[in-house]
Amino acid sequence: MSLSIDVTEKLDACLTLRFEVFVDEQGVPVEEERDALDDSATHLLALKDGVPVGTARIVFTEDIAKIGRVCVVKSARGTGLGAKLIEACVAEARRRPDVTTAKLGAQIHALGFYEKLGFEAFGPVYLDAGIDHRDMRRPLG
C-alpha cells in the first residue's frame, strides 16, 4: 500500500470527495459546500494506491492558515489518515514564514481528535451548514 498527501491542482478530485462526505453523508447543502475560497485556497489530496481518499484545504490570510473542508472517505476512516492530513496541512502552513497560527472550525464530535493534534478550542459553539462547530487554533512556532 502506498499513501501520499500532497498539494494538488486537482480541484475536481477534492470536490468529489467533499461532496461524498459533506453533501451525501452529512446533508450539507451543495450550495454551502463549494465557495469562492476554493479558487484561491491551497488544496491537499491524499491518495492510497493512486485512489483519492481524503482532502483538505488551507486559506492563508495574513498570519493565519485556516484549515478547512477536511474529509476522509468512509473506507479510510480509523486508519490515522485524518491525523496525517492535518499534519500535512500544518507542515504546509509552516513553509510560509509569515504564518504563525493554524486555525480550523471543528465539528463538535471531532474536538478531541483535534486536541490530540495540538489544537485548542476557543470561543462559542456555532452552526455551520446546520452542524455545531467550535473554532480551534494551534501555534506554529
Q: Is the pLDDT of residue 109 over 90?
A: yes
Model pTM score: 0.94
Q: Where are the domains of the chain?
A: 3-102
Q: What is the pLDDT of residue 17?
A: 97
Fold of 3-102: Aminopeptidase (3.40.630)
Position 130 scores a pLDDT of 87
CB 20 within 8 Å of CB 52: no
Residues 6+ apart with CB under 8 A from 18: 33, 34, 55, 69, 71
What is the Cα–Cα distance from 33 to 136, expressed in whole angstroms?
20
- Supply 77's cell numbers: 476512516
